[in-house]
Amino acid sequence: MSERERLIELIKARSYKYSERPFRLSSGAYSNYYFNLKQTTYSPEGLYLVGKLVFEKIQELGLKIDAIGGLTMGADPIAFAVARYSYDMKTPVEAFVIRKEPKGHGTMSQIEGNVKAGDRVIIIDDVVTTGASTIKAINVAKESGLIIAGVIALLDRCEQNGRQNIEALGYPFWSILTVFDFGINPKN
């Protein structure tokens, strides 16, 4: 079994929920299926698989980046996993976190991590539906002078134009998995 297949299995077991009574999504929409990927990305095996698969996607795409990060909390474990795996592969990539609001004390920073203006970064997110949280991360990163090489989602729900909303800003978008990997067709 490939790492990708194992990640799908792990998500099915830990993170995927289906109910006749719809779940309210962060976008405000309702859906009969829900993915709480933190149940997977916070696990030891999930961290390993996510770090490896996202790092390998970055390598496969030939992206030269300094760091990876996104809006807290969904992006955090993915960025940390990629940073850790990249170190093992002797191609270190820094991790960073974007707070939902600037810190109210000290440096007043909205970005935490070893990144600076001019660094090339990937914006990462766990689940993309409308792309709103990813776009918020993109805007904060841009305002901080980071150069966004692209966006990677662990899971694209393939609905509510998330991919299209991100690409409309001029950023390439890739996902590791889509809902189709779980036998879900959002068009139905």
For residue range 69-84, what is the model confidence (pLDDT) as tens digits? 999 999 999 999 999 9
Residue 187 covered by a domain: no
pTM of the model: 0.95
Residue 31 covered by a domain: yes
E strands within 83-171?
94-98, 111-113, 120-128, 147-156
Residue 188 covered by a domain: no
Give the pairing type, strands 16-24 and 30-35: antiparallel
| Gap between the Cα atoms of 50 and 155, Å rounded | 11
CATH of the domain at 152: 3.40.50.2020
Residue 186: its pLDDT value, please?
Answer: 83
Kindly state the average pLDDT of the residues 32-60. 97
Tokens of 61: 């795409």
Beta bridge partners of 69: 96, 123
Match 């970055």 to its residue by tokens.
Answer: 58
Residue 124: its pLDDT value, please?
Answer: 98
**Rg for the chain (alpha carbons), in Å?**
16
Q: Is the confidence at residue 30, as pLDDT, over 80?
A: yes
Residue 117 covered by a domain: yes
Residue 153 covered by a domain: yes
Residue 29 covered by a domain: yes
Q: Which of 151, 101, 143, 92 is nearest to 121 (CA)?
A: 151
CA 25 vs. chain centroid, Å, equals 16
Confidence band for 183, pLDDT divided at 50, 70 and 90: very high
Answer for the pair 36, 17: CB distance below 8 angstroms, yes or no.
Answer: yes
For residue range 143-172, what is the model confidence (pLDDT) as tens digits? 999 999 999 999 999 989 999 999 999 999
| Gap between the Cα atoms of 124 and 150, Å rounded | 9
**How many separate domains does the chain show?**
1
Average pLDDT of the chain to the nearest whole number = 94
For residue range 83-127, what is the model confidence (pLDDT) as tens digits? 999 999 999 999 999 998 876 666 668 999 999 999 999 999 999
Enclosing domain of residue 143: 3-182
φ, ψ dihedrals at 142, nearest 5°: -60, -45
